[in-house]
């Protein structure tokens, strides 16, 4: 495993995930994101059809997360960089602030994530997430 601060784009990717974990305001998150960015979440239990978001949609989703979650954590397990691309292996957990489907407030959701980020001008221009959720029960 590479040191998480060895490559400048890994450092940016980790700091971005730390900000997301803090449920940072959209203005803070926007500093990490290229204006032309696209965030793709591949199909998973929360988004069965998958979802593609532009910058505005990504920031709106972060605002919505602030109402749904009491808190969340991202643990970066591994990071690999090549040129303008970074691959992250991440463990995520999030505590629901409100009921979600059949899950009560206070339930801790967990996922294992592979995130692939592309950079342009030192900012994230593309992010693809493969989120493997633990059973939602």
pLDDT at 122: 95
Both structure tokens of 128: 């693809």
What does the pLDDT look like over 71-130, one tens digit per residue?
A: 999 999 999 999 999 999 999 999 999 999 899 999 999 999 999 999 999 999 999 999
- pLDDT at res. 4: 54
DSSP 80: E
pLDDT digits (tens, 9 = 90+) for 40-84: 999 999 999 999 999 999 999 999 999 999 999 999 999 999 999
Element (H, E) at 33: strand 33-41
Cβ neighbours of residue 22 closer than 8 Å, sequence gap 6 or more? none
Identify the pLDDT of residue 79.
95
Residue 40 near residue 99, CB atoms below 8 Å = no
**pTM of structure:** 0.91
The rounded mean pLDDT for the chain is 94
The predicted structure's pLDDT at residue 6: 77
Average pLDDT over residues 23-45: 97
> What pLDDT is stored for residue 137 in this prediction?
78
């Amino acid at each position: 495993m590479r040191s998480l601060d060895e490559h400048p784009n890994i450092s940016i990717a980790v700091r971005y995930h730390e900000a997301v974990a803090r449920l940072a305001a959209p203005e803070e998150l926007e500093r990490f994101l290229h204006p032309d960015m696209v965030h793709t979440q591949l199909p998973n239990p929360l988004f069965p059809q998958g979802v593609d978001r532009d910058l505005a949609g990504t920031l709106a989703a972060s605002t919505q997360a602030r109402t749904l979650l009491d808190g969340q954590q991202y643990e970066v397990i591994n990071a690999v960089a090549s040129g303008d691309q970074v691959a992250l292996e991440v463990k995520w957990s999030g505590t629901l602030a409100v009921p979600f489907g059949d899950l009560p407030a206070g339930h801790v959701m967990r996922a294992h994530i592979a995130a692939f980020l592309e950079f342009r001008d030192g900012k994230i221009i593309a992010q693809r997430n493969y989120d493997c959720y633990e059973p939602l029960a």
